[in-house]
Amino acid sequence: MSTQPSPTLHDKVLHHLDTIYAGMDVDTGALATDLLATMRLDHPYNEPVPHQNHWSQEDIILITYGDSLLEEDEHPLHTLHHFLHRYAKGYLNGVHILPFFPYSSDDGFAVIDYSSVNEALGDWQDIQGIASEFRLMADVVINHCSSRSVWFDNFIKGEGIGHDFFMTASPQDDLSSVVRPRTSELLRETQTASGTQYVWCTFSHDQVDFDFRNPAVLTTFVSIMRQYLDMGVDIFRLDAVAFLWKDITTPCINLPQTHEVVRLLRTLVEHARSSAVLITETNIPNRENLTYFGNANEAHAIYNFSLPPLLVNTLITGNCQHLKNWMMSMPPAQNGTTYFNFIASHDGIGLRPVEGLLSEIELNTLLSTMQQFGGLVSWRTAASGQQQPYEINIALYDALQGTVRGADKWGLERMICAHAIMLGMEGIPGIYIHSLLGTQNDYEKVKNTSHNRSINRHRWDYQALQSALADPVSTHHKVLSRLQSLMQVRTQQPAFHPNATQFTLQLGDAVFGFWRQSIDRRQSIFCISNVSDENQDIHLSDINLIGTDHWVDLITDSAISLDDPSLTLHPYQTLWIANRPA
């Protein structure tokens, strides 16, 4: 006979629900009981320890599609597992497999069926096999699903599961204040059994938005997350969660109910598995993004969306002032929370996160430089009705092939410098597979799909890739081997713990530096990068190395002599200067 839910946990869930559904005709007591049963918390469980870090310096996440690597007559997920075992194990310990479910568009983010694995990729056994060796991160595409799903079919028919899952509005409603990430019309005209309805579509007309005012939608997603836990998922990426709750009198982004849903999901997930982590994917201005930490009771981690555009801008201009100012403004993450750092992903380089950080002139310079290097620009419709740049679509290797003056010979060094900066920063690093492999712009895929984001979603023939990686003169071999070396060093340094102390250094515009100190204060690392295409000298007095310790550059494993008053950094060179007690 099962034990009744803990009154404390039931009351906590009830409080979340009362906040979410305030003023609505919802039996929150019964709903709380249902959610606890759905997450199988109607039996004894372990109370999570507050402010506990479920990560260390050993955590590095590879970001990839399930079919980024293709081998003839083999499930792509099996090929991915082989790649991870051969090229990633020992360097990184986690993998984010982008939506691996049946889908109709947006390379997986228009999910048809959340409960099954896309047969073209493999099956749940393949997912569990990867999860048995690597920490698995998976998407919960929580804002919308495919218009080809059974749920939406039932909405059109007006019966069955899903018939009441979707958000609708009227063309006569004043929706002018709604924040949009795209240029398409917000409402999709849809013929249903009950007449014409206008379905809310934040992203595309194939991605129909859920209506979380219906508690059945919430219960369904709790059930989905329970299944993913059972299949080995340890990290949940809440996709586009900022748009989850809609109120047509508001901008429909970052609403209080959305934050409370994140708090509720954290409560349920961390009681089901204490080590599980929620990451919110909120491609929005920096100050808004930070609110998803809550009071260490919402997301365990938030995407550091300002980092990619600021770091690329730094390396193409040779000036780190904006990156430095941003880093100084970022609050240290409380224990139990951390940043998720990345500089490239399956999406583009988002531009909303640098609103207020880069001037219009600087943003235009960044855009024109990226276009010069083959990049594309995706747009959104602002509240004013004007189109504004939303993201830059480009492979990171191509984005860093030169400066504002044009392409040059330092592309590889810039690529390594960018990752050395990210790998040293406070937070958990995520490395996109096409950055790890030095993949360049895929113009053919853009032509075939007519989607700008396809430029950085190349699919490798695995045999061809292995040949390239075995060739010491190939760019792909050089990028992979050097990033492997950096990752191997990082994972051994306590001062690179995601929550270790971080201070920004003041070393001029062309040298970007920060100091990390381990939680036990025994190790210090000065991370210093020349972000320009000219040699830069730094004075050791500027970083105040303690004379009673021996100091070494971890990247080259060479000693730093305190007898020399200065160090010379070559273009885009990074030093990780660490102490070794005498």
Question: Which residues participate in catalysis according to the annotation?
Answer: 239
- Could you tell me the CA-to-CA distances from 251 to 120, 202, 344, 378, 557 in Å, in that order? 38, 12, 28, 21, 52
**CA separation for the pair 495, 389 (Å, rounded):** 38
Structure tokens at 511: 């040298």
3-state secondary structure at position 99: coil
The pairing of strands 195-200 and 168-169 is: antiparallel
In this structure, what are the phi and psi dihedrals at residue 54, rounded to the nearest 5 degrees? -100, 40
Structure tokens at 2: 């099962």
- CA proximity to 164, closest of 203, 197, 141, 123: 197
Interior/surface letters 117-137, b for 16+ CB within 10 angstroms, e for the rest: bbeebbbbebbebbbeebbbb
**CA separation for the pair 107, 225 (Å, rounded):** 21
Start-end of H helices in 254-355:
256-272, 286-290, 307-317, 321-329
Q: How many CA atoms lie within 13 A of 295 on its CB side?
A: 1
What does the longest C-alpha to C-alpha distance in the chain come to? Answer: 83
Interior/surface letters 198-212, b for 16+ CB within 10 angstroms, e for the rest: bbbbbbbbbbbbbbb
In this structure, what are the phi and psi dihedrals at residue 197, rounded to the nearest 5 degrees? -125, 155
